């Protein structure tokens, strides 16, 4: 059982699939066996382009493929829950893209399906598995920064295509769902606890989803977090962690790669820390293998995913009501 190869199927021909195709092809323990699309022509074309052995002309056909062990759910956000549940009930393990779902009722139904079927389900927060993230957490937990006071961060970029799925509220669009979820998740991971109060502002686009979101989260013990996300500015991505003794700057927190640098500043002197990493999306693939074949718990737990969604929903509620929301 331990040497078994895990067969993966891509649920859709989404753009993000290409991030997973390389590590799946490189991994000795995993194999990309199939892709599914809503049309057979599109599945065939995609399978030819990416040298994937099987092409299914419907999502159902992929779920009925008895040789598939893991479904990678890369559908638009509003379809994560529906197809994750269908995949679990078809006996598949599922790696589901972020944001995990767009309501707590969806998260709970997904969790229930995973519990009832005994299959592995995890959110594809790839940065969580990377060496840089683990190193940052280790530095904070070691006490080198003193007592943590503030975490700041941002994730923005420009969307030019007005038909992008991220622009439509009914598809789970909005920058907080798409990229704001990263600084929220990062702060929660670093603090190792949940915020107790949040406040948010948003600038909405034509469908009512946010194009810019500015949020604040207050944790117990006097830890505060500020972040922004958006689709209307150039690419920006950073996390700054400020403690009573030192601060840590992470210029590339969410998409770290093979060579990374973070900066520790103490007494006005900045030390560069080099971190050698692995290919970004490899970690979630190997974590899935260890969970399915070796029975390890996924690094990103379902409880963790639920909390991230709860915080996003609380921030959206605050932005809509103009009031502070207790989480
Ligand atoms: N972790 C990361 O680094 C990362 C990066 C980017 C995106 N993501 C996540 O990955 C997911 C997909 O994002 P993406 O940018 O790759 O999406 P995309 O390129 O727009 O692809 C979405 C796919 O979903 C399928 N689909 C099914 N119903 C659809 C509908 N009603 N409208 C549009 N497409 C529909 C389509 O595949 P078929 O036509 O083949 O059926 C389409 O190719 C999102 O949840 C996003 O948050 C994660």
Phi, psi torsion values for 96, nearest 5 degrees: -110, 135
Strand ordering across the sheet containing 269-276:
269-276, 259-266, 247-250, 232-243, 148-158, 224-230, 210-218, 197-204, 325-326
* Ligand 1 atom nearest to 124, measured from its CA: 1
Give the model confidence (pLDDT) of 102-161 as tens digits: 999 999 999 999 999 999 999 999 999 999 999 999 999 999 999 999 999 999 999 999
Nearest CA to ligand 1 atom 29: 76
> Cβ contacts of residue 176 below 8 Å, gap of 6+?
184, 200, 202, 210, 213, 215, 229, 312, 315, 316
Supply the pLDDT for residue 2.
52
Could you please state the CATH topology (level 3) that the domain comprising 6-124 is classified under: Rossmann fold (3.40.50)
Supply the pLDDT for residue 88.
99
Ranges of each domain in the chain? 6-124, 127-281+309-326
Give me ligand 1 centre to Cα 158, in Å: 17
pTM above 0.75, yes or no: yes
Supply the pLDDT for residue 1.
47
Pocket residues: Cβ below 6 A from ligand 1: 12-16, 19, 37-38, 42, 74-77, 79, 97-98, 124, 126, 165, 178
> Cβ contacts of residue 163 below 8 Å, gap of 6+?
none
Taking the C-alpha atoms of residue 309 and residue 177, their distance in angstroms, rounded to an integer, is 9
Q: Taking the domain 127-281+309-326, which CATH number applies?
A: 3.30.360.10
Long-range contacts formed by 103-111: CB under 8 A, 24+ apart: 103/309, 103/313, 104/306, 104/309, 104/310, 104/313, 106/80, 106/81, 107/81, 107/302, 107/305, 107/306, 107/309, 108/306, 109/81, 109/85, 110/80, 110/81, 110/84, 110/85, 110/302, 111/302, 111/306
Q: What angle do CA 57, 50, 287 make, to 5 degrees?
A: 90
**In the chain, which stretches have pLDDT less than 70?**
1-2
What's the distance, CA 70 to chain centroid?
17
Give me ligand 1 centre to Cα 172, in Å: 11
* Ligand 1 atom nearest to 46, measured from its CA: 40
Give the model confidence (pLDDT) of 2-31 as tens digits: 579 999 999 999 999 999 999 999 999 999
* Ligand 1 atom nearest to 165, measured from its CA: 20
Supply the pLDDT for residue 249.
98
């Amino acid at each position: 059982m331990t040497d078994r190869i895990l067969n993966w199927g891509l649920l859709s021909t989404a753009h993000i699939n290409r991030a997973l195709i390389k590590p799946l092809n490189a991994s000795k323990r995993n194999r990309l066996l199939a892709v599914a699309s809503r049309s057979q022509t599109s599945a065939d074309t995609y399978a030819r382009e990416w040298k994937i052995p099987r092409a299914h002309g419907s999502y159902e056909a992929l779920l009925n493929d008895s040789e598939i062990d893991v479904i990678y759910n890369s559908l638009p956000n509003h379809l994560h829950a529906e197809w994750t549940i269908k995949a679990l009930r078809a006996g598949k393990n599922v790696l589901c893209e972020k944001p995990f779902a767009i309501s707590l009722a969806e998260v709970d139904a997904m969790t229930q399906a995973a519990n009832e079927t005994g299959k592995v389900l995890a959110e594809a927060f790839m940065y969580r598995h990377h060496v840089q993230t683990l190193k940052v957490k280790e530095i904070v937990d070691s006490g080198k920064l003193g007592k943590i006071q503030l975490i700041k961060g941002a994730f923005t970029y420009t969307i030019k295509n007005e038909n992008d799925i991220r622009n439509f509220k009914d598809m789970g669009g909005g920058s907080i769902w798409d990229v704001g979820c990263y600084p929220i998740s990062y702060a929660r991971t670093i603090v190792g606890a949940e915020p107790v109060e949040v406040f948010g502002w948003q600038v909405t686009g034509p469908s009512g989803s946010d194009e810019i979101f500015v949020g604040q989260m207050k944790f117990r013990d006097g830890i505060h977090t500020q972040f922004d996300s958006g689709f209307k500015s150039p690419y920006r991505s950073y996390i700054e962690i400020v403690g009573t003794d030192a601060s840590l700057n992470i210029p590339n927190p969410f998409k770290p790669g093979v060579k990374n640098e973070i900066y520790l500043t103490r007494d006005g002197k900045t030390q560069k820390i080099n971190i050698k990493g692995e290919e970004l999306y490899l970690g979630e693939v190997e974590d899935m293998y260890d969970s399915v074949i070796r029975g390890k718990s996924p690094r990103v737990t379902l409880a963790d995913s639920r909390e991230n969604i709860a915080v996003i929903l609380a921030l959206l509620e605050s932005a809509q009501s103009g009031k502070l929301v207790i989480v």
